[in-house]
Chain A
Amino acid sequence: MSKTDKIKILYLDDEVNNLIGFKASFRIDYTILVASNCAEAHKHLEKNPDIRIIFCDQRMPDQTGVEFFEEIISIYPLPIRILLTGYTDIESVIDSINRGNIFRYVKKPWTNEDILACIDQANKFYTISSMLALKNIELQKAYNELEKFAYSVTHDIRGPLLSILGAVDVAQYIDEIDEIKEMLRLMEKSVKKLDTFILNIHDYYSLKQGELQIKDISFAEVVKDQVENNKITTMMRSINFVTNVAQSESFRTDEMSLKIILNNLLSNAFKYQKKDNANKLVELDIQVKRGVATMQIKDNGIGILEKHLGDIFNMFFRATAEEVGSGIGLYNVKDAVNKINGEIKVTSVFNEGTIFIITIPSK
C-alpha cells in the first residue's frame, strides 16, 4: 500500500502519552493525525477532508468526546466517529450511540486488537456509505435526465403529429389540388421529422445499454458508405463532400459508435450550411497512426456562436432555430465518443464554419 492509499485517522486525546502510544502502534499501516485539544482537531479536519475515522477520548478538560462529536457532525458528516472511554461514562455513551452520533466505542485501556478491529469495521462502513452517496448522485443525475427526457420526448413527438393534424384540417378547407398537394408534402415532412427523432432515440438507447462490439475497421469502407449514403443529400444541396483516408495499420473499435458519430456530425455539416453560399464544402479527413484514429469533420456552414459551444453536447440544447433538429444528435455523439474512450473537440467561427476533431484509440 503506498502512502497516499493509507487510511487517514484522527486521534483526539488530552493525554499526550496516549497520543504517542497510538501513533507508535498504528503509523505503519495508517496515516495518523493527533490532536491534544479540540481546536487542534478542528484544524486537522479542516485541512484533511479525507479523514475517514476519528477516535476521541471522552474525558477531556474543555469538552467531552460526546460533545465534540455532536459539534462536528453537521460540518464533517463523513468521518466515522469512535469514542474511547472508561466504564464510568457509560450512560452518556449509550445515549450518544442511540442518537447516531458515534459508530462504536472502545473501552479504556484499549488493546491494539480492539483498535484494529474497530478501524476495519469503520472503514467498511465508510466505504459502503460513500459508495451509497456516489450512487445517489448518479441516481439523481439519471432521474433529472429522465424528467427532461420525458418532457422533451412528448414535445418532440407530439409536435409533428399536431402539424399533421393541422395539415389534414387545413386541407378540408381548400379546393385547389395544388394546395392540397402542398399539404401532403407538409405531412410527409412531419412524418420524416418524427422518424428521425425516433431513430435518434433508438441510437440513444443502444448507446446507453448496448455492449461494445469491437471489430476491425476499414476506414476506407466506412467513408465509402458515408459518401454513398449522403449522395442524394449532397447532390440536392449542391455540397462538395471531400473525403481523405490514410490508414496503413489495423484499427479496432465499436463500429456502431463510430457510425453514430459520423452520421450525426456529417448530417449536421450538411444541414447547417449557409443557403446562399455557392461553394458549400464538407471535408472528412481520417488518419490512423500508432493505434490512434483522428477524424476531422470540417464545414464552411453557419458556425456556432462561441457562447453556445459549451452547451452543444447537452441533451436537448439547440443553438439555432434554423433547420429541423431534436437536440439529441450531438448528445449521442458525445456519448458514443466516451463509450469508445475517445475525445472530441470543437472549434467554430460564427458564419464561417465548424471543425470537429475526434481522436479514438484502437482497442
Chain B
Amino acid sequence: MQENINFIIIDDSKEDCYLIKKRLHTLNKNYNIKSFLNAQEAYEYVKKSVVETNGHSNKNIIILDIYMPLMDGFEFVEEFENLPQNIQDNFMICALTSSINKIHADKISTYKSVKFFLEKPIKTESLLDLIAS
C-alpha cells in the first residue's frame, strides 16, 4: 500500500519546519510537504483547498504547533472546525505539543478535529505511527 501523503506543517520556527520536513523526507522522498510559518496563511490555504471527489483521495495531514504569535494553534483549530465538513474530512490535524505545557496538550485534545499528537522533540516512531494511522 504505497499511497502518497500531503503534509502541511504549521510552526513559527523556520528551523522546526525544516527539520520536520527533512525528517519526513528521510522516511519517504515522495511526500508532498508544504510548510507555513503563519497559521493564518495556512488557514487560507486549507480553506481554498480543492477536495478530490474521485474517490481516490490523498491523505492530508496537518502538523500544527500550538504556541505561535498572531494566530496560535487553538485559534487555527477553532477556525478550521467552522469550515465546510467536506474540507474538514479531507484533513487530519496532528498537534505538536511539548511535554512542559501539559495544560496546552490537554486543552488541544478536547477539539474533535485534533486526532493525533506529536511531542517535541519528534521521534521517528511517532512519525511512523502518525503515517500509519
- Chain A residues close to B by CB (< 8 Å): 151, 154-155, 158-160, 162-163, 165-167, 169-170, 173-174, 179, 183, 186, 189-190, 317-322, 327
Contacts and interface: CB of A to CB of B under 8 A. Distances in A.
A169 B69 contact: no
B16 A322 contact: no
17 contacts: A151-B101, A162-B16, A163-B16, A165-B121, A166-B15, A166-B19, A167-B15, A169-B122, A170-B19, A170-B22, A173-B23, A173-B124, A174-B26, A179-B22, A186-B19, A321-B12, A321-B37
A292 to B, nearest CB: 35
Interface residues of B, number: 23
A249 B2 CA distance: 76
A154 B100 contact: yes
Contacts of B23: 166, 169-170, 173
Contacts, number: 66
A190 B14 CA distance: 10
B99 to A, nearest CB: 9
Contacts of B101: 151, 154-155
B68 to A, nearest CB: 7
B15 A158 contact: no
A163 B100 contact: no
Query: Which of B22, B26, B120, B124 is most buried by chain A, counting CB atoms within 10 A of its CB?
Result: B22
B38 A321 contact: yes
B58 interface: no
Interface string B45-56: 000000000000
A186 B100 contact: no
Nearest to A171: B22
Contacts of A321: 12, 37-38, 68-70
